[in-house]
Structure 1
Amino acid sequence: MIDCKGMQGPQAPRGERAASGEDDPVAGPEQPALDRNVQGRIGSHLRAMYDELMQQPIPDRFVDLLAELERSSGKPPSES
């Protein structure tokens, strides 16, 4: 279980924020908060999407643009 001790800001429970003297006009009882389960599911989905994106090959046009940039700046091209 994750505890929120020492946390401040929007991720801290409302009672701890109030106790720390931190005034946050954005957060309040009228602002909905996501529970840990929902946050975890969103994080898992974002990681899966990012991992899938990282598996995609770099488009040839981007490789060509990077090579052109390195040539114009006088740096030798690096191996990728």
Structure 2
Amino acid sequence: MAPTGASSDQLAAALQNRIAIEQANAVLAERFHVDADQAFALMRRHARARSQKLTHVAAQIIEGSDDIGRLSRPERS
């Protein structure tokens, strides 16, 4: 069964959101010298603390408009 126009659009949007989150995750991992899981936890914690969607925070990180220097470094496990 082929996806309908609406579900196809939803899949495309979900893929774009995932790509943005992965790119932002890579920025944080590089910046803070942590692994991908720690970077994601940092981004998620930042989004929750600001009551923002993860995709919004990711877009800000990619654009450089979010001051990721204000993020607290995740604890190493």
Q: TM > 0.5 between the two?
A: no
Q: Which has the higher helix share?
A: 2
TM-score with structure 1 setting the length: 0.33
Larger-gyration structure (1/2): 1
TM-score with structure 2 setting the length: 0.34
Higher RCO (Cα < 8 Å, 6 or more apart):
2
